[in-house]
Amino acid sequence: MKASKGLLGIAGAFALCCALAACGSGGTVTMAEQEHVITVNATAEVKVEPDKASFNLTVVTQGTTPEEASAANADPTNAVIAALKAAGIDEKDIQTLYTDLSPQYGFAEEPAADTAIAYGGNDIVGYEMRTTIQVSGVDIDAVADLMGACIAAGATGVDGPRYYVSSYDEAYADALAQAVEASRAKAQVLASAAGVTLGRVVNITEGYSYSGYRYSNSEAAVVADEAGGTMAKVADIAPGQVSIEAQVTVSYSIS
């Protein structure tokens, strides 16, 4: 894991521009002469390959009555949940997000042949039942097979995957350390341009960090190599890398 290439070079160029701006109206990097400090903002990012994923499954069924649509939805939904459990997904990682039963509108009778618009009727011609299930804590290598097993079991839609990193805390700590190092490089450019000597750190503030990639479940899901039964063919998953970024604001004493 390492920060983006050219980070320090970009930081130096940015710092020099801000040093010039500080002589005028100021900017994100400022030199508070009355307090004898230089304050800089710095950012660093670490690229990490995700190792966990989550995705949503939907089961959609229709019927001429609400009871019929609901009854038709029960068996495939239960089959999908059974397939997940058979593949080793723990119950705590299977969540029914919501169910929705809604009327379907159209024409109760066929429109006349000379009707200009033969769609968009206001009659209730049936009902649709939709159940959405969220699956979490799946090993990256098992995602494609698990999706295929769920589709074969009765899932009519798949949304995902969304990626997570088990080592997020370590990667973020690395990015924080690199951001602090980058802040000193920027502050040194400003100090040299201003003809002062850069001293010790007098204040550090952590900036906003996006933690959406953090995987916090301490018990990793155990997914079997064979999901069992027939599986639908699903393309391989290519997780690539995600960026974990840290931002800091650091004040250095000057003399």
- The whole-number pLDDT of residue 74 equals 97
pLDDT per residue over 131-184, tens digit each?
999 999 999 999 999 999 999 999 999 999 999 999 999 999 999 999 999 999
- The whole-number pLDDT of residue 85 equals 96
Q: Are residues 94 and 136 in the same domain?
A: yes
- The whole-number pLDDT of residue 235 equals 76
Q: Are residues 44 and 170 in the same domain?
A: yes
- The whole-number pLDDT of residue 224 equals 44
Q: Give dist(CA 198, CA 178) in Å, integer.
A: 19
103 lies in some domain: yes
- The whole-number pLDDT of residue 225 equals 47
- The whole-number pLDDT of residue 214 equals 86
Q: Are residues 113 and 155 in the same domain?
A: yes
Q: Give dist(CA 249, CA 177) in Å, integer.
A: 12
The CATH number linked to 35 is 3.30.110.170
Q: Are residues 159 and 179 in the same domain?
A: no
- The whole-number pLDDT of residue 253 equals 94
- The whole-number pLDDT of residue 93 equals 95
Q: Are residues 17 and 70 in the same domain?
A: no
28 lies in some domain: yes
Residues 6+ apart with CB under 8 A from 25: none
Q: Are residues 148 and 77 in the same domain?
A: yes
* Residues 55 and 138: beta-carbon distance below 8 Å: yes
Q: Are residues 26 and 37 in the same domain?
A: yes
How far CA 228 is from CA of 114, 145, 146, 157, in Å, comes to 54, 10, 10, 20
185 lies in some domain: yes
234 lies in some domain: no
SS3 164: strand
Which domain range does residue 135 map to? Answer: 52-164
Domain count, the chain: 2
Structure tokens given for 74:
């029960």
Q: Are residues 202 and 178 in the same domain?
A: yes
Strands (E), 118-241: 123-139, 157-164, 198-206
Q: Give dist(CA 111, CA 255) in Å, integer.
A: 87
Low-confidence ranges of the chain (pLDDT < 70): 1-35, 110-120, 217-230
- The whole-number pLDDT of residue 13 equals 38
Stated pTM of the model: 0.71
118 lies in some domain: yes
